[in-house]
Amino acid sequence: MSDGAGGVGGSDGGSGGSSGADSAGTSAAADSLGSVAESVSESVAEAVGSALGAMADAVGLDEALGSVADALGVDAQDLQGLVGAALMGAITGGLPGAVAAVANAVIGGTVASAAHDAVDSMPAPMQSLAHQAVDALLGSVPGGFASASPQGVLGSLASGALTNGVGPSIGDLGEVARSMTGLADAARDVFGGVAAGNYADAVEAASAFEGVLGAQLAQGRGIAAQVSDAFGAGHDLHADGGLGAVGDAMEQLAVSAARLMASR
């Protein structure tokens, strides 16, 4: 993934959101991202991060984001998508924080979408609760719902909102698209096995999906953080591999997203 960076351990193992608000209605959030990422100090970022974490624990993520949106003078809806996730990451960690947030959102949205696809292959009585379990986990990933479809992600990235208003190259967008496809394929293989399990009832099936998806999301967060650290340290970004099929695909997607954002 980067010079001198080690692998990330972990196990292998959506409903989509609208991309319109990200691509056309987030100019204020995008402006805030650029200024915050360049100027926020570590002490302020730490204080904001701690306050946001406490607020989210107390009143929930949606309420916390709404309060931050009010403070920044932007529409709360803007903070629900990929640009909003990047803005929140920038507030708490500068540009590397924005990179980590975007990578985490796209990884989370992609694996959750693969989980939903697998749930659809199960007997109808098993599906509803499993879909709810997947959505509940994805709801904890800022920008996750808006990142559950390649079209939504690529629309947000192509708008230039994460690259100082300049649209990224076709090559960078294509790399992200290929990486999303690779991760979706790897995750579907895992969730296909989960869907094929012999479950006593819908609760047991939902619990199985919850366990596997939860492990994947945790692994994705770790990989996104490590790629972000490499980005912040100025290392060349590349995928080291050795993390299993899903982990390797997550790493490649995180690297692709970071490279695109580095073009800003």
Contacts of 65 (CB under 8 A, 6+ apart): 76, 79, 80, 84, 88, 142
CB 42 within 8 A of CB 90: no
Beta partners for 180? none
Q: What is the pLDDT of residue 38?
A: 45
Domain ranges of the chain: 20-25+95-262
Q: What is the pLDDT of residue 78?
A: 54
Per-residue model confidence as pLDDT tens for the chain (264 residues): 644 434 443 334 344 444 444 444 444 444 445 444 444 334 434 444 454 455 445 545 455 555 655 655 555 555 568 888 888 888 888 889 999 999 999 999 999 999 999 999 999 999 999 999 999 999 999 899 989 989 889 988 888 878 877 888 999 999 999 999 999 999 999 999 999 999 999 999 999 999 999 999 999 999 999 999 999 998 889 999 999 999 999 999 999 999 999 876
Q: What is the pTM (predicted TM-score) of this model?
A: 0.75
Which residue type does 141 have? V
Comparing CA positions, the residue from 167, 191, 192, 181 lying closest to residue 252 is: 181
Beta partners for 237? 2
Contacts of 57 (CB under 8 A, 6+ apart): none
User: Scanning the structure block, which residue is given the tokens 């709404």?
Assistant: 66
Residue 242 DSSP code = -
